[in-house]
Amino acid sequence: MDMGTGKTRTAIELVSRRAHRVWNVVWFCPVSLKETIAAEIRKHTDSIPDDICVWDDKITAETVPCAFWHIVGIESMSASKRVIFTALRVIGEFTFVIVDESSYIKGHRSARTSWITDAAAKARYRLILTGTPISQGVVDLFAQFRFLDWRILGYRSFYSFAHNHLEYSEKYPGLIVRAHNTEWLAAKINPYVYQVAKNECLTLPSKLYSCRSFRMTDEQRDLYEFAKNEFLFELDGDSFDSITIFRLFGILQQIVSGFWGRKNRMGAGILEVEHRRVSTLLNVIEQIPESEKIIIWAKFRYDIRSISDALRSEFGDESTAFFYGDISEKNRNKEIVKFAEKARFFLATPSCGGHGLTLNEASNVVFYNNGFKYAERLQAEDRNHRIGQRKKVLYVDLCCEKSIDDRIMSALAKKGNVVDEFKREVDKVKGKKSAIETLIRGL
């Protein structure tokens, strides 16, 4: 179901209609969403507090209460043996297991995918919820449907699946270049999928887009060109793969955001450079009425600190609610409440806050910078373009002229992945180091 169309409510209703058949529910979701899910269950059911157990850092197989609803962080299923053992004990034949944001278990090799799949195997009822089931191609389907039941696709192992449906590059091991028999896959999963698009069930206000451009400072431009030259000097043309491109793009994006986290002879450190990104953000904010709330998405922790300092200086300490990796799980829900009640700004990273949150209090969104994947961008956009939003939503992108930002925005406009797009350009001239050098200098 598209983001904002009511996946959580639908799952709660499915459980309610099977309540006489199940003993308990184990709801796996991103750690940042645990309190949100608990609040939704309380809102839509007559559950008493003891019916809902949100697993924390103290839960063990011995202390876990006999609750009906158990809400568990997906990430914990790879990071904590304590949580894994507790899940194995709680899940039984008559458990209803839900994986919310199932793209978190699309990696067939990941530890959390294996543990969640194995733990849920004995449960009669299994459900996955997602708005973006396929972000990188049909390869994403295997692990998600294996969690439900391997018989849906008919493959017990990923290697059997890959042999029949994936074609890999001969030159770059692990790089998928083509998918086969996709219509057959679609037919296999069709009986097990319920799909809803926004335009089928909602009449939402339109999305409006704007781009605010700025230029690098002279010092910033010098560092930007230096980074490309250093990269070219170290480049081995035969090993220019997606990981290498990702590293290069990350460096260039850091520089246009005012810093470079690089290693030198003295170890790791952050090199700061004068830039105009924060001032451009403040100019955008000035043009939005003071009575309107604003969501600000930023990619790096350094960005969060820079923006936070500027907002506190300009608008006061209580002006901003935060949602990113350094905010503890316990305090994240407090920050959501703070934004709803008094804070004007919600400052977050898409990797942490881009899933599951409802932020309809704001109709203005600023992307301080962007990630490389369209799916991640769409997730962030739809935090406040969902059921309950009554205003047109304005999305403003800050874009540094003649930089990596241009290429990122171009790829997102085409609903693509900027790294994959650049890799395809490189593949067209593979073996020609001068042509690859030209492509890099043009970034």
Residues 19 and 102 placed together within one structural domain of the fold: yes
Residues of the chain with pLDDT under 50: 265-266
Taking alpha carbons only, the member of 265, 266, 273 closest to residue 227 is 273
In a domain, 15, yes or no: yes
Residues 87 and 144 placed together within one structural domain of the fold: yes
Q: What is the DSSP code string of 34-71?
A: HHHHHHHHHHHS---GGGEEE--TT--TTT----SEEE
* Count of helices and strands (H, E) across the chain: 20, 15
Domain total in the chain: 3
Residues 25 and 138 placed together within one structural domain of the fold: yes
Rounded CA gap, 82 and 65, in Å?
15
Q: What is the DSSP code string of 271-338?
A: EE---SHHHHHHHHHHTS-TTS-EEEE-SSHHHHHHHHHHHHHHH-GGGEEEESTTS-HHHHHHHHHH
Residues 231 and 262 placed together within one structural domain of the fold: yes
Residues 259 and 281 placed together within one structural domain of the fold: no
In a domain, 290, yes or no: yes
Residues 268 and 282 placed together within one structural domain of the fold: no
Taking alpha carbons only, the member of 328, 379, 428 closest to residue 2 is 379
Query: What tokens were used for 194?
Result: 């319920």
**Percent of residues, the chain, with pLDDT higher than 90:** 61
In a domain, 408, yes or no: no
pLDDT for 238 equals 55
Q: What is the DSSP code string of 363-413?
A: -EEEESS--S-HHHHHHHHTTSSSTT--SPEEEEEEEETTSHHHHHHHHHH
Let me know: does 95 contact 26? Beta carbons within 8 Å: yes
Residues 176 and 255 placed together within one structural domain of the fold: no
- Tens digits of residue pLDDT in 334-347: 899 999 999 999 99
In a domain, 412, yes or no: no
In a domain, 221, yes or no: yes
Residues 233 and 362 placed together within one structural domain of the fold: no
- Tens digits of residue pLDDT in 344-395: 999 999 988 877 788 999 999 999 999 988 888 988 998 999 888 899 999 9
Residues 33 and 93 placed together within one structural domain of the fold: yes
Q: What letter does residue 144 receive in the DSSP assignment?
A: H
Q: What letter does residue 167 receive in the DSSP assignment?
A: E
Strands (E) located in 172-206: 176-179
Structural domain containing residue 396: 207-211+276-403
pLDDT for 416 equals 81
In a domain, 2, yes or no: no
Give CA separation, 315 vs 285, 319, 375, in Å.
Answer: 11, 6, 32
Residues 188 and 284 placed together within one structural domain of the fold: no
Residues 304 and 243 placed together within one structural domain of the fold: no
Query: What tokens were used for 2?
Result: 């598209």
